[in-house]
Amino acid sequence: MKQLPKKILENFGAGLMGRLSTQVISFILIIYLARVLGPESYGGISVVLAVISYFNLLATFGLPVVGIREAARKQNHCEESISQIFSVRICLAILSYFLLLAYGWFFITDTHLFYLLLLYGLTMLSSSWLLDWAFIGMEDLRSLAAANVMGSLCSCIFILLLVKNAADIFYIPVIMFTGSVLSCTFLYHLFHKVHSLHLSFTLLNYRTVLKLAMPFAITGGLSQVYENFDIVMLGFMVDHQEAGYYSVAYKIVSVLSGIIGIYSQSTFPVMIRLREKNPGLMGAFLKQNVYGMLFFMLPIITGGTILGNNIIETFFGEAYLRAATPFVLLLYYIFFMALSITLANWLLAVNEDKKYMGIVIVGAIINVTANLVLIPLWKSAGAAMAMIIAEVFVFCFLASKVKDLQQEDWVDKKKFFILAGSCIGMGICILTIQKLFQVHVGFLVFVGAALYIGLSWPFCAKFFRRTFTE
C-alpha cells in the first residue's frame, strides 16, 4: 500500500498536465469563438450541444463507470469485459444518432440548427470508440492525456485557420469530429498493443452488461440535468443570447471542473482497490481527499468573487459583461460539486450505488424545479443559482450517507479554519491592490495565489507531505 500515494501522484500529475493543456486549448477556442460568433450564434451552439448531451446518455448508458470498475479490479485480465462494453457502446451510439436524426427531423424547424445538430451529433459515434474509461481503470492517465491533447490541438489549429465569422459555423462540428477520431484512434492503437480487443455481439452478454450499467445510466441521466438543462431552458424560455452569456460563464468554471475530474479519476480506482484489500484505510483516504479539495477550491471562490467582472471583461470584452454574475455564482456550485464528487466516489467504491442514485434523483428534481422558478425571474443568474441550490442539497445528502457508513471524522475543522483565514488575508490584499493601482487581472490572480500559498502552506505542508509519503 505504500505505492498508492506515488501512483496517485503520478497519475494525477500526468492527468493534470494533460487536462490543463486541453483546457488551455479549449479556453483559447472559447474566447475566439465567443468573440467571432457573437452571443447569439455562440448561444445557438450551446443549446445544440445541450440537446445532444441527452441523446448521448443512451450512447454511454453508464458503461464507462462499469468499465472503470472492471479494468481496476481485473487489471491485466480485463480484455473480455472491455470488449463486451466496447461493443455495446458502439451499438448504442448508432441507435442514439438515428434517434437524434428523428428528433431533429420532427421537432427542429430552424434548418440552421438542424444541420448543426446532425454535424455535432457525429461526435457520439466517434466517442463510442474512445477507450478513455479503460485507461482510467488501468491507471494509465499518461496515454489518456496524450490522446486528449493531440485531438484538442488538432481541432484548435483548424478552427483558428478556417472559422473567421458566423458564416463559417458549420466548419466547427466537422473539425471537432476529426479531432475526436484522432484521439480515439490513438488510444485504440495503444490498447491493442497490450491487450486484445474484439467486437462481441452476444445478446446474453449485452443484457448482463446493461444490467450492471443501469444504476449508472440512471444517475448519469439525472446528473446531466445539472450540466445542460439550464442552457436548454435559457434557450427556450429566454433567448439564445442569454444562453450565450451563461455558456461563457460555464465554460470558464468547467476548467476547474476538469481539474477536479482528473483528481477524481486518479483516486477512484484506488478507492476500489482499498475496498478490496484494505478497507481500514478508506476513512483516512477520504479525509485526505476532502482536505485536498478544500485547499484547492476555497481560494478560487474567494478570488473569483472579487475579480469576476474583471475576468469576464478582460477575456471576452464588454459584450459579455452580463456573464459576470452567473460566473461568480457557478464558482460556488463548483465548490460544492468538488466535495460531492469526493463523497460520491467513496459511496460507489463501497458498492452503495442505490443510495447514490436516490440522492441524484432528489438533486435532479430540485434542479429542474429551481430552474423553472428562477430562470424567468433572473435569467442566466437564476440558472446559476438553481445549480447552487441543487448541489448544496446533494452534498448534504451525500455527507449524511457517508457519515452513516464512515463514523470516523473525515473533516479536520482546525485545518479548515486555517484555510479560511488564509483566504480572508488573500482577499483583503487583492481588494487593496485593486483599489490603489490599475493592474491587469492576471497580476492580481498571481499575487493572490502566491499570498494564499504563503499563508497556508506552513500549516498544511506536514499534512500534504504525509499524504504523499505514507
Which residues in 163-201 are b (16+ Cβ under 10 Å) and which e? beeeeebebbbebbbebbbbbbbbbbebbeeebebeeee
Set of cell numbers at residue 51 = 440537446
Identify the band that residue 336 occupies on the pLDDT scale cut at 50, 70 and 90. Answer: very high
Question: Which one of 173-182, 222-231, 249-258 scores highest in mean pLDDT?
Answer: 173-182
Of residues 7 and 254, more confidence is placed in 254
Query: What confidence score (pLDDT) does residue 409 get?
Result: 67
53-73 pLDDT per residue, tens: 889 888 888 888 888 877 777
Identify the band that residue 2 occupies on the pLDDT scale cut at 50, 70 and 90. Answer: very low
131-156 pLDDT per residue, tens: 888 887 777 777 888 888 899 999 99
Identify the band that residue 410 occupies on the pLDDT scale cut at 50, 70 and 90. Answer: low
Q: 217-226, 261-270, 306-315: lowest mean pLDDT where?
A: 217-226
23-51 pLDDT per residue, tens: 788 888 888 998 898 888 888 888 888 88
Q: CA-to-CA distance for 368 and 345, rounded, in angstroms? A: 24
- For residue 141, the tally of other CB atoms under 10 A from its CB is 25
Average pLDDT over residues 192-221: 76
301-326 pLDDT per residue, tens: 999 999 999 999 888 888 888 899 99
Contact between 388 and 417 (Cβ < 8 Å): no
Identify the band that residue 179 occupies on the pLDDT scale cut at 50, 70 and 90. Answer: very high
Set of cell numbers at residue 397 = 445528502
Set of cell numbers at residue 201 = 455481439
Average pLDDT of the chain?
A: 83
Average pLDDT over residues 261-279: 73
Identify the band that residue 181 occupies on the pLDDT scale cut at 50, 70 and 90. Answer: very high
Query: What confidence score (pLDDT) does residue 1 get?
Result: 41
**The amino acid at 150:** M
Tell me the torsion sign for CA atoms 337, 343, 346, 348.
negative
415-450 pLDDT per residue, tens: 888 899 999 999 999 999 998 888 889 999 999 999
Query: What confidence score (pLDDT) does residue 3 get?
Result: 45
How many angstroms separate the most distant Cα atoms in the chain? Answer: 70
Contact between 390 and 370 (Cβ < 8 Å): yes
Q: CA-to-CA distance for 338 and 320, rounded, in angstroms? A: 27
Contact between 283 and 81 (Cβ < 8 Å): no
Give the CA radius of gyration of the chain. Answer: 22
Query: What confidence score (pLDDT) does residue 420 get?
Result: 92
